[in-house]
């Protein structure tokens, strides 16, 4: 036998964050989002446009959307802001970070600077569980705080820390916590304690007559929460991303 040496170059392979985008029921779209990495917002936008086009093609235009963030560990802050911009109105506060990395008590606010890709007329549901964390909680928080949709599921993980990676000698690195995330209403995402045991399933049966307060009526459950008012904080520009009116056009057809 002759020995054959083959060089296999190493390459970074990006797995898609949208693992499923389909029509769940008549007029209802479903998207499973598994993570938040570079390009997630653009990937989600492409899948949403295809989803709305599919609904229109079969004569059942999408007017309800289920965004599944269960078991989503999160990822990049910029990706979370980009995804949120697809859902909430232009000018909406998405998330703020507060820490000392930019100066004592400094705060950075991220705000939607584009019209949403998903029309305001589309009813939105976000599914979460105990493994929904970090960037996924940012998107969940802005949907909940702005009454853009309803959040269904279990208490989320509570990972609300901003971290940076500092290189060290010898190819090592240090992950350093520099700030905390806050939702538009001022709630800190970070859990107070990880020691408390979680119940296996805390979702309770509810009447189908439940509605979102102050928004479009939906036959879905929502747990109201008391939220502290936001205080005036300095604002920074949100990361830019391309806008599109393709979904609005298809939904209007």
Catalytic residues: 134, 145, 159
Tokens of 122: 């589309």
Closest to 153 measured CA to CA, from 219, 204, 225, 218: 204
Residue 139: CB atoms within 10 A of its CB come to 29
Largest interatomic CA distance in the chain:
75
Q: How many CA atoms lie within 13 A of 78 on its CB side?
A: 8
Q: Pairing mode, if any, of strands 150-153 and 123-128?
A: parallel
Rounded CA separation 237/105 (Å): 18
Directed axis angle between helix 77-85 and helix 40-57, to 10°?
Answer: 30
Are 159 and 74 contacting, i.e. CB atoms less than 8 angstroms apart? Answer: yes
Closest to 241 measured CA to CA, from 62, 94, 89, 41: 41
Rounded CA separation 108/239 (Å): 12
Closest to 41 measured CA to CA, from 75, 89, 65, 11: 75
Instruction: Let me know the angle formed at the C-alpha of 76 by 63 and 54, rounded to the nearest 5 degrees.
Output: 25
């Amino acid at each position: 036998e002759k020995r054959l040496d083959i060089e296999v170059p190493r390459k970074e392979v990006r797995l898609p964050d949208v693992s499923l985008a389909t029509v769940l029921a008549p007029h209802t779209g479903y998207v499973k989002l598994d993570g938040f990495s570079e390009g997630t917002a653009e990937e989600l936008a492409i899948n949403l446009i295809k989803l709305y086009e599919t609904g229109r093609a079969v004569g059942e235009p999408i007017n309800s959307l289920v965004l599944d963030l269960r078991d989503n560990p999160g990822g990049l802050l910029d990706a979370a802001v980009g995804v949120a911009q697809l859902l909430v109105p232009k000018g909406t506060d998405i998330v703020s970070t507060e820490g000392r990395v930019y100066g004592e008590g400094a705060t950075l606010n991220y705000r939607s600077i584009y019209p949403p890709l998903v029309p305001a007329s589309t009813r939105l549901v976000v599914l979460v569980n105990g493994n929904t964390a970090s960037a996924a909680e940012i998107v969940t928080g802005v949907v909940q705080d702005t009454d853009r949709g309803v959040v269904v599921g279990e208490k989320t993980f509570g990972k609300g820390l901003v971290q940076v990676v500092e290189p060290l000698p010898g190819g090592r690195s240090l992950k350093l916590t520099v700030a905390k995330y806050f939702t538009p209403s001022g709630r800190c995402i970070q859990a107070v304690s990880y020691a408390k045991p979680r119940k296996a399933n805390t979702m309770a049966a509810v009447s189908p007559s439940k509605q979102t307060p102050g928004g479009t009526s939906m036959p879905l459950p929502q747990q109201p929460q008391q939220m502290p008012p936001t205080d005036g904080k300095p604002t920074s520009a949100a990361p830019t991303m391309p806008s599109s009116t393709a979904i609005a056009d298809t939904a209007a057809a």
